[in-house]
Amino acid sequence: MKRKYFGTDGIRGTVGEAPITPDFVLKLGYAAGKVLARVGKGAERRTVLIGKDTRISGYMLESALEAGLCAAGVDVLLVGPMPTPAVAYLTRALRLSAGIVISASHNPYADNGIKFFSGAGAKLADKVESAIETELARPLKCSTSAQLGKVRRIDDAAGRYIEFCKSTFPAHLDLRGLRLVVDSAHGATYHIAAHVFHELGADVVAIGNHPDGFNINAGFGATSPRALQDAVKRERADLGIALDGDGDRLVMVDAKGEVYDGDQLLYVIASYRMRQRRQLRGGVVGTLMTNLGMEHALARLKIPFARAKVGDRYVLEMMQKRGWVLGGENSGHIICLDQHTTGDGLVSALQVLGALRGDKTTLAKAAAPVKLYPQLLINVRTRRDFDFSANRGVRQAVAQAEAALGADGRVLLRASGTEPVIRVMVEGKKRPQVKTWADAIAAAVRKAAG
């Protein structure tokens, strides 16, 4: 059954526009609470943890979710601003019924969204999301006063998560002698990220760590690495680490200011584990967006590689199906299933740093085997129901590009699962040719979308 509200990463949109309104989110909390009461085991009272990023709208949506869950008879734990992967970890560590994150990840502050984790710290199964949508269509019937949920705050949540992140770094190594610039995108890791690296011995310069409710992802973080590049060179740092607004993406910068994306960083982790015989357990899962250069580099090491649909939930599904522990996206979502149940920017950074320290090498040398093909991604904003696949002009532009690029190039068009845009990706050996065809296809999509 096609879901009305849930996309590839929860429910997301512009605040004040359906479905990101306080009345809907209250009903969503109630519906989720009723479903959780049915799918849980035993007769114990259900408890759900709520975290959020630093958007101004988080206060409003947190209150609405809290009210809906309590009306359904579910207890609530509040942790305030907390990275998405921290909510997944705390939900699992505290043996809770579910975790909810109020965040729109890398989107601008005017957007927000609701993400759910199961009690095991994993994304909700499709059937559970469908059950919540079914419950949303039913009337809200508040529990009696004796059955209402209670709310309390966990004051040491940040400290718990910091210790968890540190535990994923090799115990025989440390970060002494490293000067790092850490960019939190004015997001949910603003009070956490620098502490993780400092407590492992690094000299840390923190940027993007002063959220005001409106500046999340604005000119900082994994989607805007220029500020990190400038800071690394200005501070004469060894490396830069950039996270996104909710802390599940990672981009890194070397001492020369060169940017390394998720494909390159995933290769560094995988190749180190292969050499150390450290539970690579099969191969690596990427996506349809993974650069051909990454695939070729893994092939030279005889590391199996598979492509999933774009979206970390699809990467995770394929990893679980194949029994592999490493996967990720070029956007910086990296999943290390032997360390965490979901993608985690801080844990991923520690895996890269562990590889560099273990091999006594630099990021530039470790990632050098990945010769990235020029790749251009253009986001074309459209209405949410626009179907590019049915348009003759778009199909013709794609066919012409594919014929021109030949076997050494790729074209990929897909509708975003998190915002109303069509993503146009063109990849090939020659950058001018890639740009020409990406622009042409994007223009065809704009024309078709009106």
Residues designated catalytic: 105
What angle is formed at CA 338 by the lines to CA 182 and CA 206, rounded to 5 degrees?
A: 5
Cα(219)–Cα(113) distance, integer angstroms = 21
> Whole-angstrom distance between the N-terminal and C-terminal Cα of the chain?
29
Residue 240, H or E segment: strand 239-243
Per-residue tokens: 212 = 């005001």
Q: Which has the closest alpha carbon to 109: 62, 54, 60?
A: 54
Q: Which has the closest alpha carbon to 195: 83, 54, 65?
A: 83
Cα(105)–Cα(331) distance, integer angstroms = 12
φ/ψ (deg, to 5) at 328: 175, 180
Sign of CA dihedral 336, 358, 258, 225: positive
The HSE-up count of residue 10 (CA atoms within 13 Å, CB side) is 23
What is the DSSP annotation of 332-397? SBEEETTT-SS--HHHHHHHHHHHHHHHT--HHHHHTT--PPPEEEEEEE--TT--GGG-HHHHHH
What angle is formed at CA 364 by the lines to CA 263 and CA 302, rounded to 5 degrees?
A: 50
Whether residue 10 contacts residue 113, with contact meaning beta carbons closer than 8 Å, is answered with yes
DSSP state of 73: T
